[in-house]
Structure 1
Amino acid sequence: MDITDKAVNLAHETFDKVASTTNRAAEVLGEKGEQLITVEQHMMKNCRGYVRDHPLTSLGITAAVGFVLGRLLSRR
């Protein structure tokens, strides 16, 4: 085996390792993305339930947040 063949084999091995690692990372990111979607849906369901059960408190919170954001953004 000459040096060119060794270099080609090393390049192929390196490419295979990078491809394997990239595939695994993509799988993990896909799983985490699904988990985030599930958590988001759960939080939205809880939020809707809270607003439905406590409409006046929700309105007060919304007004307070709007006031604070308005003050923060008007300073810029």
Structure 2
Amino acid sequence: MVDRVAARAHETIDRVAAKAGPAVEKLRESASTYREQLHAKADRLGALEEQWIDSARSYVREHPFTSLAVAAVAGMVIAKIFSSSHHR
């Protein structure tokens, strides 16, 4: 009786393993594909960031006084926000 139960358990495990193998491989391939897509998107985002930085640098070089004025106003707004949040 124990031998039959053990034999059936081994058969069941073998069947499950045979079915799980392809599923695990498919999951591994999907993960690899998603990883590649994520890396490609990160590369595109990095390139976009570089374009924005280059654009900002160009703007500052072409309009230095306007850039200083915008930076000063932004600094005052940020200072006002932080000073009012500390008083609460």
* Residue aligning to 2:14: 5
Residue 41 of structure 2: aligned partner: 32
Query: Could you say what secondary structure the match of 1:72 adopts?
Result: helix
Unaligned regions of 5+ residues in structure 1, if any? none
Aligned partner (choices 48, 59, 71) of residue 68 of structure 2: 59
Letter of the 1:11 partner, please give it.
Answer: A
Find the residue that maps to 2:65 and give its secondary structure: helix
Partner of 1:74: 83
Q: Which fold has the larger relative contact order, with Cα–Cα distance below 8 Å and residues 6 or more apart in sequence?
A: 1
With normalisation by structure 1, the TM-score equals 0.90
Q: What RMSD in Å do the two structures reach over aligned CA positions?
A: 1.0
Identical aligned pairs, as a percentage?
28
Q: Using the TM superposition, name which of 45-54 and 2-11 deviates more.
A: 2-11
Moved segments of 4+, more than 6 Å: none
2:71 aligned partner, one-letter code: T
Q: What letter corresponds to residue 44 of structure 2 in structure 1?
A: Q
Whose Rg is larger? Answer: 2
- Partner SS for 1:18: helix
